[in-house]
Amino acid sequence: MVLTPEQEQIGKQNFSDAVGVSRRDFLAGVGAGAAGLGVAYFGYQELKGDPVRVAFIGTGDEGNILITQHPPKYMDIVAVADLRPSNRDRAFTGDGNEHRVGLIKKLGPEKASKIKVYDDHRKLLDAKDELGIEAVVIATPLVTHAPIALDCLDAGLHVLTEKLMARTVPDCKAMIRKARDNNRLLAVGHQRHYSVLYDNANSLVKNGLLGDIKYIRAQWHRNNSFPHSDSWQKGIPSADREALAKADLSSFGFDSLNQLINWRLYNSTGGGLMAELGSHQMDACSIFLGKVHPLAVQGYGGKNFYGIPGVGPKDKWDDDREIDDHVYVTLEFPGPHYEQNDRDICIVTYSSMSTNKFEPYGELVYGSRGTLFMKTEKEAMLWKEEGRGSLGGGPDQRLWVVSGSAEGGGPVMEAYETTSGSAKASSTGGELAENVSRGYTEEMEHFCYAIRNQGSDYWPGGEPLAPSKGGLRCNGVVAMADAIMALTSNLAMATRQRIEFKPEWFDPDSDAAPETDPEIVG
């Protein structure tokens, strides 16, 4: 969505004003919606007693982000494990990126020096009692999420694993069953569930301020067409080459050292653009739609740039990656009145390309009364729809929110003409910019709080405690639905067919899964 700076500023101010009116009573109790207010926003409290003793398994790019964002008041890191020596070193030193500073800078040299280091998660588990480990955070390549999580759950540890939950839906179900059988928490890192910005935006949706939502457009575009511009294609560090030259990596799911390092590029070890990028945004769209399960998906995916001789620089056409570099999918979701009328459908489109990044990544929510733009997880913008007899709408107009309407008594928007705006949006969500929390810290805080306070039964009645009652906002059952959307989208693109989702796929106790459905793969 291409907007002028003035239009973006108006949209941010509109969003902030709308949140301030629609959540006035709530915000009065918690303060403005800036970063670091997860305690107030997401139903947990400051941790009483000792922090939870946690081990990090996987200390690469995503693991380092989590290490940097981890909350020391809730979480005491006592050990780390990673197959790669370069990653183990980076866990302590960081890599010069402000989002990955490392344990020495995060905790101080003395505290960091006491953290134990392992080259295999199984060795770490052997020492769990000695170290008093209570929980693990798993940020390893996708193909290893399930086997490592199952090992940790069998060892009696609570698990927070990065997204995508697992490489297959049967693996997701095995993780849920294992967590339930061992009475342990299973959380998955779709961090938008713990973003104050998204929580404020969803409050506007739930209050009906956007009207009927019939279409959401999500995208994450990048441009890897320039030489050596692909962050997913990495060289092999000399320390890893020397240490792992003769290692048997097959027991961890890898055919080679290159596949271990560049796991995102291969179908057997990663899930492609839908798993790594699209799953986050499908999760965001489903949040706005009330976490209902989709009805059907179809789409196109192709290796349209990489591996084509003569197209682009040689490092592109001489690339052996297997995943698609362009994906475009369309999902059908039930609207709020679908059970009464099956034509009540909301369409969600998702695209991810590797040759153009003109537009920023994010989600555009199109409602009958307003439009919401979530930009790069840092900003939210809101505009009113123009209607007959109204005072107007669109990206050039400011709005105000009134508390009731003739239609139903909920908050509604009115607009007025304006020129370019200079007012700065308040921190209720309009202009959080560089300081906005993406939710990593809050998800780890709540994970630790739940370990300490949820009680001796983490699966009351055989189900995870509902988020409305203080349970994890992205437990294994919720995250499996996101995995099903991403993995079924991959199947739809690979088989070039429209696939209808089946309810039993979303049931952890059913063995049914899209990958094994004879109507799809038979």
The domain of 47 spans: 40-194+440-475
Q: Is residue 45 part of a domain?
A: yes
β partners of residue 500: 296
Residue 466 confidence class, pLDDT cut points 50, 70, 90: very high
DSSP states of 266-300 as a string?
STTT--HHIIIIIHHHHHHHHHHTTSPPP-EEEEE
Answer whether residue 169 shows pLDDT above 70.
yes
Tell me the C-alpha distance between 297 and 98, whole Å: 38
Q: Is residue 190 part of a domain?
A: yes
β partners of residue 117: 80
Q: Is residue 53 part of a domain?
A: yes
Answer whether residue 423 shows pLDDT above 50.
no
Q: Is residue 316 part of a domain?
A: no
N-terminal to C-terminal alpha carbon distance within the chain: 40
Q: Is residue 356 part of a domain?
A: no
Q: Is residue 110 part of a domain?
A: yes
Tell me the C-alpha distance between 369 and 334, whole Å: 19
Q: What percent of the chain has pLDDT over 90?
A: 78
Per-residue pLDDT tens digits for 173-187? 999 999 999 999 999
Q: Is residue 70 part of a domain?
A: yes
Q: Is residue 309 part of a domain?
A: no
Q: What is the pTM of this model?
A: 0.92
* pLDDT at res. 408: 52
Q: What is the CA radius of gyration of the chain?
A: 23
Per-residue pLDDT tens digits for 10-33? 999 999 999 988 887 777 666 544
Say which amino acid occupies 375.
K
Q: Which CATH number goes with the domain that contains 108?
A: 3.40.50.720
Hey, which bits of 180-224 come out as E strands?
186-189, 213-219
Which of 20-24, 40-44, 254-258 shows the highest mean pLDDT? 254-258
Answer whether residue 465 shows pLDDT above 60.
yes
Domain count, the chain: 1
Nearest to 328 by CA among 344, 356, 348: 348
* pLDDT at res. 403: 60
